[in-house]
Structure 1
Amino acid sequence: MTSRPVTASDILELARRTLAIEADAVSALKDRLDDSLVRAVDALLACKGRVVVTGMGKSGHVGNKIAATLASTGTPAFFVHPAEASHGDLGMITGQDVVLALSNSGESPEIIAILPLIKRRGAKLITMTGRPQSTMARTADIHLDAGVAQEACPLNLAPTASTTAALALGDALAVAALHARGFTAEDFARTHPGGALGRRLLVHVRDVMHKGDALPVVGVGTPFKEALLEMTRKKLGMTAVVDATGSLVGVFTDGDLRRCLDHDLDITATRIEAVMTRAPKTISEDALAAEAARFLEERQINGLLALDGEGRLTGAFNMHDLLRAGVV
């Protein structure tokens, strides 16, 4: 292999050409989509087992990603290496599964070797190739055409545009199945509980609020001084105020305290209802914690009281609680 001098202009031009070829390859897929994709989605929705994705070489890497995308969007899926399938891993495939096999040429010997066994098991076979006349395409129950006019590689050899097209077609299949399945953002969060989206969609106010003995609350008629002690003990910068029936009638916050300091206040004689904020802002304990964070930010306040479905006081929280939960 010999090298030759290249200029910055040469490098940028080749990079732009690569992107243009790959963009054209993906764009061309739109005009070739037909009933085959609809039938493939129907097969995924009807699958009583798992979607088993397989592919050799670069197609295998793309297949791994497609399997992961399917699994995270409501279609249980996993990847099986075709060479390993011939040495025992074929036992992972059952008659209730759908097999999605990828190969640009459609002639990968490792996959062709296991096709008769897949068909004999009764599994539905979907293939994604670049050649509709290939062995894999002709053997399949459903064939998806991922062919490209040329590779982005200057030698037209290295899988580049073809792998991009296959990946995009796999995404189109997964997204179409997601929509047909009625998969929601909440469903997505349940498959991503460790991520930021999962925290935003799975954590509720009841999960972060202080309740029971940790809830700062005093009754109407409580001396101002005792209310301050309750705020100090519970460390939330506020205390709820309830009447004799336990119904919420007000809240006293750090902001209220600062306003009290501007007046000559007798902290021994003053009762909390004289200085509290009436009709305090509240939120349902069933609300998403992310919704509570937006509520606090929009109103530029630091804490909120939470109520149950019957309007009873059940908890309190502040922005620090939301930060600890990773919601903001």
Structure 2
Amino acid sequence: MNLLRRICTELSPQVNGKTLTKRTFKSPKFPEESLEETASPCLLHGIHVFHCPDEVGIVAKLSDCIASRGGNILSADVFVPEKENVFYSRSEFVFDPAKWPRMQMDEDFLKLGNMFNAIRSVVRVPKLDPKYKIAVLASKQDHCLVDLLHGWQDRKLPVNITAVISNHERGLNTHVIRFLERHGIPYHHLQTTQEDKREEEILSLAKDTDFLVLARYMQVLSGNFLKSYGKDVINIHHGLLPSFKGGNPSKQAFDAGVKLIGATAHFVTEQLDEGPIIEQMVERVSHRENLRSFVRKSEDLEKQCLAKAIKSYCELRVLPFEKNKTVVF
């Protein structure tokens, strides 16, 4: 039975003698804009991601878990890699919190995860759950940092920025420092050297965060740092990795005479610029570019790519796949 037929079959389970409606698997819009128009004011929006060994009946049980509590699946994505015994899904649903309390929801999805030996089973209710707490690490270049701060201020990014950490000292009257002071976000200047990357202090400042963002932070984090932190670190890099690794990638690409520039947001690993890719964006350039216009286009791509990667991560769209890949719904 092919995957599409299997999904359609599993999405028609019997619950209390009634057949659940079949639903098309498609990539949804993110909730807060599209779902508020369709959902009743008393209903809340939830997201669930599932990663487990593949077997028959997963979609049916997932549907039953939500429907049995009065919830309604609005959209779902499923990915089953060819010749791999592994199952990935991401579902969006609405529910009445009076009928399905948040703690009960956790218990129900935990039981589902145990039933299928889940590698990952995560549920979020954006209206009830706290936003992800992040610290942003940056060096001298401001473009990605400023874009993240403005995105946070405009509520375009579902995060709380707890601190900005930098190896570059900024003056009291700079735009970044004025912004941070106005919003009560601490700025920590940690001067680094080749011998001392101040990693212990960074770990201390970031201990209560959910993940870290490197917004053009021009320092290499050690394997010991990554192991000690133990959570995800997202980096932005100019170029379509694996090309133009290391320092000054814009100059490398410009000197190489590329006709297509890009930006890559990826997870940080011990191998420099080789972590799993989350998002990539591209733009065409020509021989008419000078280095200044080339860099300006590159910086615009970096800002957009990093913001989208963070948003996708917070919306539970990013799951690990194989050793060095991701599934991005």
Q: TM-score, normalised by structure 2?
A: 0.31
Structure with the largest fraction of strand? 2
Give the alignment's TM-score, normalised by structure 1: 0.31
Structure with the bigger percentage of helix: 1
Structure with larger Rg: 1
